[in-house]
Amino acid sequence: MGKIIDSILSTYQSQETTRPTVSFEFFPAKTHDGVFNLLNRVEEMGFSLQPTFVTLTWRSAFKDEKLWLRIGAHIQKEFQLDVLLHLTCHLPKDTLKQILNNARAAGIRNILALRGDPPIGAERWKPIPNGLNNAVDLIKLIREEHGDYFCIACAGYAEVHTESWNHPDLPPSNESRMLDLERLKMKQDAGADFIITQFFFDVDIMLQWVKDCRDMGITIPILPGYLPIQNYNSFCKFTNWCKTKVPPQVQLDLERIKNDDAAVRRYGTELAIQTCRKLMEAGIKSLHFYTMNLASTVTQVLDGLDLIPTRHQRDLPWQSTLRRTGSGNKIGSGEQVRPIFWSNRQSSYIARTSEWDDFPNGRWGDRASPAYGELSEYYLAFKRPKANRKDLWGTPEKPQDVWQVFVKFIEGNVKQLPWCEQALSLESSMIRENLKWVNSNGFLTINSQPRVNGAPSSDPSFGWGGDDGFVFQKAYVEFFVSPRLLEKLVAVIKEYPQLSYHALNAKGDEHRNTPLHSVTAVTWGVFPGQEIIQPTVVDSDSFAAWKDEAFELWKVQWASAYEPGSPSHNVIQEIYDSYFLVNIVDNDYANDDSDIFSIFTRIITDDMSKDDLRTRVIELEAKNEKLHETLAKIKSIQDETAKDLSDTHRELAKQREENQLMKVQLRQLQAQMAFTTV
């Protein structure tokens, strides 16, 4: 395969009206099934959309460079697609040299040279021993070791790299902008061939930045990177983490439709089409998409821009990527023929066959999905704002202090937790009192949802998807818990046959009452003219992968806020070392009497002393008394309102009678006047 810069320059130098270069970014999957399905996704999009190249990210936590290189080499060899592999400065110089040699041996000719994000748990970037300082050093190393063999891309920031901002909550100054441009010029001077930008939403800012680059003497091609809006929550997370400016009208439009997933996706697609069209009208001849490993939205954007090659433009064989079966054997993907009905509707066919990924996966995505993993797995997630964690979570000295932090989060008095970067969702707020109760007794919840049985898809609390549908969900709760309380839970859960559970600790010790490799849908929807959509599942293999990240957050985000050996650091380390992560699903979603929290109540009350129980009863009685008082007030208001309405009705009836009488009297007077006139 060739150097990507040659294709880019050919497009820019062409005197004819040509298709702009189109490129897609993908990120590595974590499971074997995910890897093979990622390859299927790349093949699918490569065959139908004909990108100029694809990029494959390297997260600092993604340690298997051999797998990374194998994926890149497979994409090049089997799909005939140029691959741009990301490389960061998180490894020693000698290791980076070896990786470059291995990449060259694998036929890789294109590298995106990045400094990389700060090491996990660190506030700012710090070079490792015998490492490199920044992307400029990495570009120089590549050129020193391999001359012009590699095409080198670098990163650009139209809104300035967040580390160059003078203040985390204020826009960057002109000095910051100039410093950022000078650093970009240094990358060009060191040997970079082209620039890929951070994602953006304000086109005018991007176009002005391109002009500023040219004024600075930066002449290499600039590829604007765009992240299509596919989900409101992920849009909020990414714009918050990267401090991306959003035009006010876009923010208002999204706020109005944020509870309608399908409407958000349609809006995001149309916005992407308008944005890309404006870029092309301004002379930009390259479009780079952050795909999040999803096909349908990018396909629809390119279709709207009329940039999907027609059949006579393609000359690629139908090559099928191998995937693994449950037994571990490799088989063909099974797609040996496509229906004729979509011969002239390629984008429609892809959208229909990739429907299972239409709603981007959250933590409980299908383990075989190439989009597997929470958004925080994606490398941009490391660019979130650095909050003062001691102010957020205090300085706990015993586990009970940590429990109270979770309670305060449920109450809304703590703004975020390592596992929960936003306030309690609207649906979970409906079980707020139950969550406060279990957290205050040592069941530290990080994810939950109530039971829903056929709510309209437009429901403001539970709705999702398109119009005229109905949504369902099983009650679910995920939490950290001590071994002592887990032992009690395991002992009594046998008496709750409707509940399934899975528990793992950081070392991998396991308790469960579900089969191996089990997958349970916990959210599904029924929509007119469609098969049942199951966007959210609890998957035991996914849970095992998520467990590692969930426990790591105790250390990298919470314990690291304190001095090693301090009481606060020690208590968080103790939780990391001993607690279990547990998920429970209540499968009896259709039973109004089923209560997933009843098992917690039993465990907690069994563990209480008589005095504690008496105190709890008094608390509940006080709450009930307040509820009765509130209900009595509401009833009194209703009674008064009803009386007022009754009085009003009587007054209106009296007025109607008087009006009727006046009309009769008026007619009589008119008749008398007529008679007198005659």
Distance of CA 656 to the CA centre of its chain: 62
Pair 227, 375: CB distance under 8 Å: no
Write down the catalytic residue from 16, 25, 552, 563.
25
Let me know the angle formed at the C-alpha of 546 by 542 and 551, rounded to the nearest 5 degrees.
Answer: 155
Return the axis-axis angle of helices 346-353 and 32-49, rounded to nearest 10°: 170
- For strands 323-324 and 53-56, give the pairing: unpaired
How far, CA to CA in Å, does 383 sit from each of 119, 125, 261, 264? 11, 11, 25, 24
Q: What does residue 367 show for φ and ψ, rounded to 5 degrees?
A: -65, -20
Rounded Cα distance between 165 and 529, Å, is 50
In sequence order, which residues have a C-beta less than 8 Å from that of residue 594 and are 6 or more positions away? Answer: 451, 475, 498, 586, 588
Can you tell me whether residue 513 is helix, strand or coil?
A: coil
In three-state form (DSSP H/G/I as H, E/B as E, the rest C), the secondary structure along 95-143 is: HHHHHHHHHHHCCCCEEEECCCCCCCCCCCCCCCCCCCCCHHHHHHHHH
Strand 452-456 relative to strand 499-505, pairing: unpaired
Burial 631-659 (b: 16+ CB within 10 A, else e): eeeeeeeeeeeeeeeeeeeeeeeeeeeee
Q: Does the annotation count 270 as an active-site position?
A: no
Q: Residues 266-288, buried b or exposed e (16+ Cβ, 10 A)?
A: bbbbebbbebbeebeeeebbbbb
Phi, psi dihedral angles at 259 (to 5 degrees): -90, 0
Catalytic residues: 25
